[in-house]
Chains A and B, each alone.
Chain A
């Protein structure tokens, strides 16, 4: 039966090529535009650290004085140095990592005149195992290195290639400004998108960190460049770039690994207790105001998805809607025009259901054609997106799931658009039409 319907559909579509082409074109344009944007949306909202995002948590506490900045109820996005250190050293047995980002001057072996800046991350030893960072050579440093402020460094593969011509750079010396560091590990290409663990570098950075240093050793460089600092009134601001002395500025980031709901609940309670304790000590003025979000909730809270991408998606979907209404109108025209032919089929014994099915087969043929053409247009659209100088451009690629989704969306949308015209077309009374002919 299906073969017969397909044959009928093919003949019908061939009979009015212009109308068929217009329908396919309309669907292709709508599908192409919306799938381009849906794919961009899909890759941009993807989980940056699949499998672990539900166990990594971002604590926030509120050290602001009572009279400052009462318009934002949420605590500051980052922690002060004191809070970060207190939280890092409290609650034994829980994996935690404290960090801060910035830029550092690298002096290559060719000499100081070739110096350049690279993004830097000063962090603690757990960073590498907690975020599943892949190594090509060596490994991360140890907790002892953190305590002893060892001058050791983990560098990115790109930097190793640039400086030493090989990714196997363990044991080499790395000159950062006035100080020399020993390379203990080289990490492979690694740039989670969104850059969840520090959004201060840009939500989708295409320039990930090249140098990782033990927290204290990194801060001892006293770089003037921090990714982001938020200060509130009444505190001391250091003159010598050593933010560790700033009492009223948040600039540190802490991530905590909590595996079970019980651990999460316990940590939430711990944050409240900590805030109360700090208030009793006179450091905090406000009653406990804490937050503990996992990776996806943290990204959501920070609105990492650019508004322009959402707007473009909305616009593309609006465009698809216009294209579909257009298809409904054209299919209605097409089906009703065939009243004579359908009447003959009905008179010769085809049931309403059979006629309905035949018309839907015809519509899905149009939908499939529109989907394939739309796929080509979406590929073109994504190529255009990749040419854009925006930081998320490189992410815009279509995967297998999206490929299938495109065709499915096209066929489903067209079938939906065909339902009403087909229903109308099988309601015609055969006798009346046959008589007038």
Chain B
């Protein structure tokens, strides 16, 4: 069954992972800019990273018939130094017209600090100014509930952002309803220990429906599984959900949201 993984960090994965994802039915993916596991020593490190996301990774994915799209930003884990973060933000506009760039992301908060919020607001403003889609990272564990509220307030405060053009990711049972109620799209991330298991993601679909909601692996350099999305499909099938349900959450929903960017082309 063909599917889209709308959030995965392929710079941290091997070429074998591309091969396995293609075998499992992945036809397209989107890769947000994120924290490398260490702080970059200069803004120039981000310039190289943005080249990797817009030049190198699309070619690597194409070898396996997978369309590669990306999102650019400075992530909240490196936003505690506002001067550094603004130097990185200044690099982004020159990359926004590249053919696989869908928007700004994954922006958001990590520890819900004032500096993180200031840099989030600056990147929301950039997205508004350049009419870009937004992919949002919500904080981990104890910080998620508060951070999700602060992020939604910041998006509303900008005044120019349409909620339907924003995907708020890493929702769980305590954040999914407020995100959907405010008109945003929501993403569930399938992680082995934190965020959602495939079972809980299926539970959330059964509780909140399958409109404006998708699943992703967010596979990266930490404990994560690039095949988490098809594993969740197996869980849905095991429960008796029809194949059309899976097509809706893992293909038609991503196509509907991502298709708001003229650069996104729905895979055949």
Same complex origin of A and B:
no
Residues of B bordering A, CB below 8 Å: none
